[in-house]
Amino acid sequence: MPTVAFVFPGQGSQAPGMGAAVAVASPAAAAVFAEADAALDEPISRLAWEGPAETLDVTRNAQPALVAASVAFLVALREGREAAGLPPLAPAFAAGHSMGQYSALVAAGALPLADAVRLVRLRGDLMQASGAGRPGAMAAVIGLDDARLPDVVAAGSAAGILTVANRNSPGQVVLSGERQAVDAAVAAAKAAGARRAIELPVSVAAHSPLMADAAAGMAAALADVAFADPHPPLLSNAEGASIEDAAAARGELVEHLTRGVDWVAVVERMRAAGVDTFIEVGPGRVLTGLIRRIAPDATAIALDDPSAPGGLAAIDL
């Protein structure tokens, strides 16, 4: 029997239509969207299913819609396996990319869905407000030799605050910080031979010290939310450390606002622990692609892929 991990996508995987087919096919998935709508007192399901894209892409909309869609995929998988007479999957780990940690915590029984969608809506608002006081930027750097990255970060840091926001796969990173620092880093990356270095169309410097105000706001909000110990354990975004109790789960949701996401370390930690099959639970196939580059010897399956073995209802593991 394969050793499985569930992974949950973050912002950027949203697209109009996400979760619509799943909600039609699965009463359990439809109930997830209904619960999310009630928690937010607005039809986030309609926005997820119908768009428009420019409204769905707004951070305060994208994040709760992604949580709802990801959990809908999860419950549809469970429902489908039960209907097919297959045993439930028992993942060894759950891990979310950035705000995907909220979906992972719901999957692990540590956080109710209603709390998760309300919290990510607040998270988006706080991130936007934090960025308004200290405008920042983000840039993707692709095809750069990993050994040259410290020099690029140093060049950017000489001009202002700069950090590695995401290490997504070998040769693919996202930088975040003050605009002048990001501009300097982009120039340095191009000079160092990066295949591509381009500023991203975002209005905040996510996963950087510029999100300190947002982190403080989330810490205050999370103090009033009841968490349970996650089962299975989660892995922290910054270094892939195991998160096994409620206090650590709460702390992760604060700390990852100002610290980077080292997805390479997260995947390598799971592989070292014996995981050989990764299931991307949610819309899109972004994480599946990254995992195939990080761990080409592992199996990576996206539930939002019609060619997934056995289909959504009954992945035969």
Which residues does the annotation mark as catalytic?
Answer: 98, 207
Tokens of 9: 């996508």
Residues 145-183 as b or e (16 or more Cβ within 10 Å = b): eeebbeebbebbbebbbbbbbbbbbebbbbbbbbbebbb
- CA 111 to CA 123: how far, in whole Å? 15
Residues 83-116 as b or e (16 or more Cβ within 10 Å = b): eeeeeebebbbbbbbbbbbbbbbbbbebbbbebb
Cα–Cα separations (whole angstroms), residue 31 to 71, 186, 304, 312: 10, 45, 19, 17
Dihedral of CA 115/206/20/85: which sign? Answer: negative
Q: Give backbone dihedrals phi and psi of 166, rounded to 5 degrees, phi first.
A: -140, 130
**Which residues pair with residue 58 across a beta bridge?**
none
Rg of the chain over CA atoms, in angstroms?
19
